Structure 1
Amino acid sequence: MRHEFSRRGFLGGTGMAAAGASATSIGLTAGDAGAAGAASTERPEGETVLPSDRRYETLSQGFNQRWRSRPAHIRLVGNEADAVAELRSASDRGLRPTVRGGGHCYEGFVDNDEGVILDLSSLRGVRAATDKFGAATYAVEGGATNWDVYTGLFRRYGVTLPAGSCYSVGAGGHICGGGYGLLSRRHGLTVDHLVQVDVATVRGGRVEVTRANRADPEGSPERELFWAHTGGGGGNFGVVLRYHFAHRLPEPPPRVWLSSVAWKWEELRRHPEDFRTLLTNFGAFFAAHSGKEETVYRGLFSILHLTHHSNGNVVLFSQWDEEDPAPLDEFLAQVESGMHTGATVQSGPAGLLYLPYPDKRRQLPWFQATMTVSGSGANQRGKYKSAYHRKAFTPAQIDTWWTWLTKDVEGADLTQTLVQIDSYGCRVNDRATTDTAVPQRDSVMKLQYQTYWTDPAQDAAHLAYLRGLYQDTYRTTAGIPETDTDTDGAYVNYPDTDLGTTADRAPAYQRLYYKQNYARLQHAKWLWDPANVFHHAQSITLPS
């Protein structure tokens, strides 16, 4: 089973001519991350994969086996000049471009019959650099994975980003959707550390690379381009070639405590009141300890996996980043308080559901701990939904989960079906709702509804099950986690086309992902992609 915090498989981006010669026309690109804005005669370096190529079947499909397309070709982008040249070629030939980084898109937004997929997986550099104003930064290329980011930043510079746990997720899509992970309660979202994006766009017949910086003048097109990448999602504006992060990135803790405990479903079914107690305790704890003023538990990140009963166990994974484990032990005691069913050690294959240790908690060096929990899982078919929660769970929501998670469905293996509840808030909630394109800045928990299977014959059953579970959970708000209530919308990096598409008259995804920030994102779209070259089923639409 896969476990990660954001696996957006396509890249977001917009490219605009920035002041101070920051844009470069076709054939002229900046050849180095440390020379942003300096034009060069860099030659395109890449490779085209045609349907006759043995690599085509692999490179035309991402992680989710539900999606497959037949693009005219796939371009393995080798450098900036190559991205520019490929976009110009696609424009001249009338081919729609889509972009793939890590390939983890939850929906089929990269799929592109008869178009061209720009595959950035060769652009994986992570290095010290400078932005277009000469300020020191750390540059991450659009095809880098989370693991490239962690190894590159930590081994060479002793710093890190508060990004996701899944090692193979592409940074290109993960970052522009907001990005969060095990260190976010202490250090905020990934985009809270972003200072510049280098993006290729198609605009007015021109293909350009633009360096858009947070220090660009307020209200300038360049500033709007930068802001759009702080949570506006991927596949909307162009091709993100590089991200620049502030030079003073967080230093990870020397050591962390990892904990993994479980409650057996057979025991919970004998004591159903324990299920409600567990969820009540968990929700109440994070409602009380996730505000921006929290001081004691900023270093705690915890995930409760409410699996389907056929899985056998409900699992609680936690990471605590301070030396003294007493607060972690107190948290675990509060979660179990009042339960008859006792927690057991949950050990097994490495990954967020299991830890390969025979004890309830163990201290490890931070980097080794990050390796331990950096699961990706097998390539399977999957469906996902999400929600931000601003308060503890209601009794009705808890009862709904019990009903659905103890329900069997003929023709569907639900052993890999779960409601994943992630702790959230603290430093994430320091920012105002309009500081970045991520508007959810007072939530305390973030939920991901997941189901995985391998047999296409089970598609309908799995989709119907997850849809029913989700709609029943939020039945008091018309079956969705409505904004500015006890819930606050959904996460753009966990896209779900059940929330509507661009073909719908009034799709819900626009307000659930972006809330009041959607109009500003539409303005950025109008500035940088007025021909709607970059689009998918839930993309930012042009203003009417």
Structure 2
Amino acid sequence: MGGRSVDGLRERVRGAVITPADEGYEQARRVYNGMVDRRPAAVVRVAHAGDVMAAVDFARTNALELAVRGGAHSAPGFGTCDDGLVIDFSGLRGVRIDPVRRTARCEGGVTWGDLNDAGYAFGLGVTGGIISTTGIAGLTLNGGFGHLARGLGLSSDNLISADVVTADGRFRTVSEEEEPDLFWALRGGGGNFGAVTSFEYRLSPVKDVVAGPFVYELEHAADVLRFYREYIREAPEQLGLFPGFHRAPPLPFIPEDRVGDPFILLIPCWSGPPERAEEVLAPLRDAAPVFAEGVGPVPYPAFASAFDPLLPPGLQQYWKGVFASELTDGAIAAHAEHGPLVPTVHSAVHIYPINGACHRVPADATAFAHREATFATVLLAAWPDPADDAPNTAFVRDYYAALAPHSDEGGYVGFMDHDDQHRIEANYRGNYTRLAELKRRYDPGNLFHLNQNIRP
């Protein structure tokens, strides 16, 4: 893309257009995953929806690769590209809370930390990510799990409306009443259907929670997982709870000589009446001998950012994910074998529950089809040194291979990496045909293809 073309784009947008010749390009081209090293022809830091419309038109007219970047957390690095155009929403982070209607209107670059903090002042919140620097856009468009999902449903289940620029450069407002087909597709269909410039969410009462980790020795891993499998079936829906394999970071309740050792954890987040917390959490202390505990009352935004220090930007990352309707004995055996091998303090294996409110939405009501699944497992390896790429990616692949026979067909698109494109139809199950038809309607040229791609 020549300088004259870039000048033409600069004349059409208010935001900065950053090219390899400009100061700040090296920082502007970076995304969260350090394994992704691409050099776009230009990064457009959009200032408003009009900039997005101009950038989409420019990419389509000039047959350029087009990447859309919200929080930049995409494991495969879909928020950037080589020799193409990046729409960067990082400057659009406005949040407006309406405490009367209990809604939030958020710009396309908002992170979950932004939204959690804004809502906390009013005692309101919505299901968001486990890492608060994650963008609301990617998480919501893929479905969206988090600490509050059992009680409130997926992030996408709480979406009321969205503003989106489609491949033809048109600005559209979509909801159940306006362009309902496109609204259906956005709730789980990923970034396939356009660049979303704002999201409107339904909020629910959320303020302080009782939360934190229970830490157990690895010898009790199978017992802890069997307990979790049974307890989460009937636990109150205000209890978010998931087990995880981690290497212990330096925390006040971890003995210094055990920092860096692998453990299995149970991580509750009780958002119900504080006086019931002890009753609800007491069984976790009986699941197995507790090695260490860091549970207590905490503002929800603080707990929702508790894992942030473990996954700073710039680390090498490799991901996989599976769904399961049941946590079978075979799956527990696979976890007990592979979980203790979690390679670094930055890496994690989490088994999120997606029952409760998530199950009360029919599989065809939104693009997110796995409404029968009870568990969503993420396998994440993260490490600082590129020299360690092979053993860390092998950890994830071997773990995934061991879980596959005990898992449902398909997985969560937000946990897929660059080598998972072959799983797309299985990931969307019975909704894939309708999604492909809508892709043909709204993006027949597949301009938005840097994603887990639904081909028109």
Query: Residues of 2 paired with 1:168 and 1:369: CA distance?
Result: 13
Percent of paired sites with the same residue: 25
CA separation of 1:472 and 1:366: change in aligned 2, threshold 3 A: closer
Contact 1:98 1:116 in 2 (8 A): yes
Query: Residues of 2 paired with 1:312 and 1:407: CA distance?
Result: 8
Contact 1:141 1:172 in 2 (8 A): no
Amino acid aligned to 1:438: F
Match of 1:327 in 2: 279
Query: Residues of 1 paired with 2:349 and 2:133: CA distance?
Result: 22
Question: Which whole-Å deviations, capped at 9, do the CAs of 1:73-117 have from their partners, x for residues lacking one?
Answer: 100001111111122222332222111011100113233111010
Query: Residues of 2 paired with 1:422 and 1:99: CA distance?
Result: 27
Q: Tell me, yes or no, if structure 1 residue 181 matches structure 2 residue 146.
A: yes
Query: Residues of 1 paired with 2:305 and 2:79: CA distance?
Result: 28
Contact 2:213 2:268 in 1 (8 A): yes
Q: Which has the higher helix share?
A: 2
CA separation of 1:223 and 1:167: change in aligned 2, threshold 3 A: same
Residue number among 212, 220, 223 corresponding to 1:277 in the alignment: 223
Match of 2:327 in 1: 392
How much does 1:308 deviate?
A: 6.7
Question: Which whole-Å deviations, capped at 9, do the CAs of 1:390-449 have from their partners, x for residues lacking one?
Answer: 11331x3223233334569xxxx5454442122331111111101111112232222111
Query: Residues of 2 paired with 1:186 and 1:46: CA distance?
Result: 39
Match of 1:452 in 2: 382
In structure 1, the gaps of 5 or more residues are 1-42, 130-134, 217-221, 269-273, 290-295, 337-341, 347-359, 484-488, 502-506
CA separation of 1:334 and 1:190: change in aligned 2, threshold 3 A: same
Query: Residues of 1 paired with 2:173 and 2:451: CA distance?
Result: 27
Q: Tell me, yes or no, if structure 1 residue 314 matches structure 2 residue 249.
A: no
Query: Residues of 2 paired with 1:232 and 1:58: CA distance?
Result: 29
Residue number among 270, 290, 305 corresponding to 1:343 in the alignment: 290
Question: Which whole-Å deviations, capped at 9, do the CAs of 1:235-259 have from their partners, x for residues lacking one?
Answer: x12211111234xx2111x432123
Name the count of aligned residue pairs. Answer: 429
Match of 1:140 in 2: 106
How much does 1:302 deviate?
A: 1.5
Match of 2:5 in 1: none
Contact 2:66 2:450 in 1 (8 A): no
Amino acid aligned to 1:344: F
Match of 1:163 in 2: 128
1:12-91 matches, cutoff 5 A? 44-91=13-60
How much does 1:539 deviate?
A: 0.7
CA separation of 1:102 and 1:159: change in aligned 2, threshold 3 A: same
Amino acid aligned to 1:285: Y
Contact 1:177 1:231 in 2 (8 A): yes
Query: Residues of 2 paired with 1:244 and 1:83: CA distance?
Result: 18
CA separation of 1:73 and 1:420: change in aligned 2, threshold 3 A: same
Query: Residues of 1 paired with 2:147 and 2:19: CA distance?
Result: 40
SS of structure 1 residue aligned to 2:130: coil
Question: Which whole-Å deviations, capped at 9, do the CAs of 1:506-539 have from their partners, x for residues lacking one?
Answer: x22321x211111111111111101111102631
Match of 1:245 in 2: 201
Contact 2:317 2:383 in 1 (8 A): yes
Contact 2:322 2:404 in 1 (8 A): no
Question: Which whole-Å deviations, capped at 9, do the CAs of 1:126-181 have from their partners, x for residues lacking one?
Answer: 1158xxxxx995311111111111222332x4422111132211112111111121
Match of 2:408 in 1: 482
SS of structure 2 residue aligned to 1:508: helix
Query: Residues of 1 paired with 2:69 and 2:325: CA distance?
Result: 33
Amino acid aligned to 1:492: V
How much does 1:44 deviate?
A: 3.9
In structure 2, the gaps of 5 or more residues are 1-11, 249-259
Match of 1:539 in 2: 453
Contact 1:99 1:239 in 2 (8 A): yes
Residue number among 181, 185, 190 corresponding to 1:228 in the alignment: 185
Amino acid aligned to 1:212: V
Q: Tell me, yes or no, if structure 1 residue 509 matches structure 2 residue 404.
A: no
1:90-489 matches, cutoff 5 A? 90-128=59-97, 138-155=104-121, 157-203=122-168, 207-216=169-178, 222-234=179-191, 236-246=192-202, 249-252=203-206, 254-265=207-218, 268=219, 274-286=220-232, 288-289=233-234, 297-307=236-246, 311-321=261-271, 322-323=273-274, 324-336=276-288, 342-346=289-293, 360-370=294-304, 372=306, 377-379=311-313, 380-394=315-329, 396-406=330-340, 414=344, 416-475=346-405, 481-483=407-409, 489=410
Question: Which whole-Å deviations, capped at 9, do the CAs of 1:36-55 have from their partners, x for residues lacking one?
Answer: xxxxxxx8421101112232
CA separation of 1:446 and 1:99: change in aligned 2, threshold 3 A: same
Contact 1:180 1:189 in 2 (8 A): yes
How much does 1:278 deviate?
A: 2.0
CA separation of 1:102 and 1:363: change in aligned 2, threshold 3 A: same
SS of structure 2 residue aligned to 1:435: coil
Residue number among 422, 428, 438 corresponding to 1:524 in the alignment: 438
Query: Residues of 2 paired with 1:465 and 1:391: CA distance?
Result: 23
Give me the TM-score of the superposition, normalised by structure 1.
0.74
Query: Residues of 2 paired with 1:90 and 1:373: CA distance?
Result: 37
Contact 1:186 1:298 in 2 (8 A): yes
How much does 1:461 deviate?
A: 2.0
Query: Residues of 1 paired with 2:429 and 2:199: CA distance?
Result: 25
Contact 1:311 1:416 in 2 (8 A): no
How much does 1:368 deviate?
A: 4.5
Query: Residues of 1 paired with 2:385 and 2:215: CA distance?
Result: 28
Contact 1:306 1:419 in 2 (8 A): yes
Amino acid aligned to 1:45: R
How much does 1:371 deviate?
A: 5.1
Amino acid aligned to 2:405: R
